[in-house]
């Protein structure tokens, strides 16, 4: 019995040492992965990397991590226009089956899904904010975006009838969708701006617009989008997503 008791104590001690070693190793790996991702994507701040699952060391021995969560507070995505970017906030991605090299210089996830937010202030940059003539003596522009409820965007359109000195702002509920890596805003119904008759295609040049969101980290792509209180919430997904290398 005394020998068995001693053996159990040794097993507990060794188990505790293994857990400590495992947590130290995972902490080091998370730091290395975060540094590599920051360098690869030219990020202003170090991203959060959380390697999930236990034990970590057995996953390392197998050359693949089951689940890795990545968080990037702010990311400047390409828009397709030289010198112009759009800020993506609170990008969180869940990477599955992440294979990596021994020195963590390269890492690739088999699949990835995630979420992020584009603020209305950022999306407004893609809208027609300068007065544009939509009919003789009538100009219009978008002056604001906000949550319209039920997954819609409220687009505030300001119309001016110069001959009458009339200026008014009307709300337009719009649908938001994703197509070809672009966030697209389309008015459900068109506003009336004074008594002028305005062709639909002319007013839609103001109310309808799109914003490309490209070159997201690791090659992930836009999947879906929905209006929310603080901006449009986007979901992203990808395969063979590169975290480093």
pLDDT of residue 78: 86
pLDDT of residue 12: 45
**How far apart are alpha carbons 138 and 132 in whole angstroms?**
8
pLDDT of residue 37: 83
Residues of the chain with pLDDT under 70: 1-23, 102-105, 163-164, 193-197, 244-245
Helix and strand numbers (H, E) in the chain are 4, 12
pLDDT of residue 238: 92
**Bridge partners (DSSP) listed for residue 185:** 176, 209
Instruction: Count CB-CB contacts under 10 A for residue 182.
Output: 18
pLDDT of residue 23: 67
Q: What is the pTM of this model?
A: 0.84
C-beta of residue 131 within 8 angstroms of C-beta of residue 139: yes
pLDDT of residue 193: 66
- Kindly report the CA angle at 221 between 45 and 142, in degrees rounded to 5? 85
pLDDT of residue 245: 59
pLDDT of residue 111: 93
DSSP character string of 99-156: EE-TTSS-EEEEEEEEEEEE-HHHHHTTS--S-EEEETTEEEEEEEEEEEETTEEEEE
**How far apart are alpha carbons 199 and 133 in whole angstroms?**
12
C-beta of residue 69 within 8 angstroms of C-beta of residue 54: no
**How far apart are alpha carbons 243 and 238 in whole angstroms?**
12
Percent share of the chain, pLDDT over 70: 85
Max intra-chain CA distance, the chain: 103
pLDDT of residue 161: 81
Q: Which of 197, 188, 132, 123 is nearest to 158 (CA)?
A: 132
Task: Indicate the domain borders of the chain.
Answer: 2-116+238-244, 122-212
């Amino acid at each position: 019995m005394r020998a068995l008791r001693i053996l159990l104590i040794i097993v507990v001690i060794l188990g505790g040492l293994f857990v400590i070693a495992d947590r130290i190793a995972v902490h080091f790996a998370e730091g290395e992965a975060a540094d590599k991702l920051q360098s690869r994507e030219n990020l202003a701040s170090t991203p959060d990397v959380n390697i999930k699952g236990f034990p970590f060391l057995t996953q390392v021995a197998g050359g693949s991590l089951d689940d890795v969560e990545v968080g990037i507070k702010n990311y400047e995505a390409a828009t397709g226009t030289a010198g112009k970017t759009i800020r993506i906030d609170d990008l969180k991605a869940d990477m599955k089956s992440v294979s990596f090299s021994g020195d963590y210089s390269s890492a690739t996830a088999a699949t990835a899904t995630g979420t992020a937010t584009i603020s209305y202030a950022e999306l407004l940059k893609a809208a027609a904010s300068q007065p544009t003539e939509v009919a003789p003596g009538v100009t219009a522009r978008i002056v604001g975006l906000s949550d319209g409820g039920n997954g819609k965007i409220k687009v505030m359109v300001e119309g001016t009838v110069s001959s009458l000195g009339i200026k008014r702002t009307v709300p337009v509920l719009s649908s938001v969708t994703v197509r070809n890596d672009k966030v697209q805003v389309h008015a459900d119904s068109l506003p009336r701006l004074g008594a002028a008759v305005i062709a639909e295609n002319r007013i839609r040049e103001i109310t309808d617009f799109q914003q490309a969101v490209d070159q997201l980290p690791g090659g992930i792509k836009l999947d879906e989008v929905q209006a929310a209180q603080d901006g449009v919430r986007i979901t992203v997904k990808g395969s063979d997503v590169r975290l480093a290398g």
